[in-house]
Structure 1
Amino acid sequence: MPDSASLALIRRVYESRMAPEVTKEVMAPDFVWDITPGFPNSGVYYGWDSVAKDFFGRMTGYESFGAVPEEFFADETGHVFVYGHYHAETKTGNKADIRFIHLWTVRDGQAVSMRQAADSHILQEALKG
């Protein structure tokens, strides 16, 4: 069965590794990024510029950090669920794989929100050094 348009759009975000030219095209101007309390830099961010600066821009304790999607699911109402894990390597040499689920909402061909749930404890422990 072919991907729905919403699923294909979100799959493109992960495949690009959040490349600026892709996020600019895919994210709606009023995009909402909602990160689980307890996760580093948790909170709700409004607009991709804020996500890039205030969430990703504050991720300073890592040598590398990336989302690795494992499964994608979509419904008929523009919701895309992504199950996967983050792979993190800290500047102190610790490595961690942290399970996540992302719930994306797509409207009119653009992502309007992403809500995250992840095991914050594992990442907090890795960042302790």
Structure 2
Amino acid sequence: MSEAYDIVKAHYAASDRGDLDGMVEPFAADIRWTEMAGFPYAGTYVGPDEVRSGVFERLGREWKGFRADPDRLVDGGDGTVVGIGVYSGTYRRTGRSMRVRFVHVWQVKDGRITGFEQFTDTHLVRAAME
């Protein structure tokens, strides 16, 4: 597999360990991280600090046991990697759980993650929150 594939795989492994520093370590200084419209944290976050505070820390605070478990990684070449998997977790305020499929499209250049775009069923995520 490519270097890009290995970098994305290591990000998911860090996530699985709960290693926030390891998750953001390979991010480029100007990473553009896009959460899908309709998702609770929708928007584009620029830079590791915005991703950490706007996405990862909020997920940790608001969800119990939130996980993003890839079933498959596809090396698309030219620094593109696609992750296909399942989100799961329990929203703390409602006590409702969710299990939702996702697709993540990653961009890696010169050993750094430069882009991320999320695709998921936002309705199922929001249903757990209501």
Q: Aligned equivalents of 1:20 and 1:96: distance in 2?
A: 22
- Bigger shift: residues 9-18 or 107-116: 9-18
Q: Against the structure 1 CA distance between its residues 24 and 37, is the aligned structure 2 distance closer, same or farther, given a 3 Å change threshold? A: closer
Q: Against the structure 1 CA distance between its residues 24 and 40, is the aligned structure 2 distance closer, same or farther, given a 3 Å change threshold? A: closer
Counterpart for residue 78 of structure 2 = 77
SS of structure 2 residue aligned to 1:41: coil
Pairwise CA distance, 1:25: 2.8
SS of structure 1 residue aligned to 2:53: helix
Q: TM-score, normalised by structure 1?
A: 0.90
- Indicate the percent of aligned positions where both proteins have the same amino acid: 29
Counterpart for residue 54 of structure 1 = 54
List alignment gaps of at least 5 residues for structure 2: none
Q: Is the 8 A contact 1:61 1:127 kept in 2?
A: no
Q: Aligned equivalents of 1:72 and 1:27: distance in 2?
A: 18
Q: TM-score, normalised by structure 2?
A: 0.90
Q: Is the 8 A contact 2:12 2:23 kept in 1?
A: no
Count residues in correspondence.
Answer: 126
Residue identity matched to 2:26: V
Q: Aligned equivalents of 1:24 and 1:96: distance in 2?
A: 25
Counterpart for residue 7 of structure 2 = 9
List alignment gaps of at least 5 residues for structure 1: none
Q: Find runs of 4+ consecutive structure 1 residues off by over 4 angstroms.
A: none
Cα-Cα RMSD: 1.4
Q: Aligned equivalents of 2:36 and 2:24: distance in 1?
A: 24
Pairwise CA distance, 1:41: 1.1
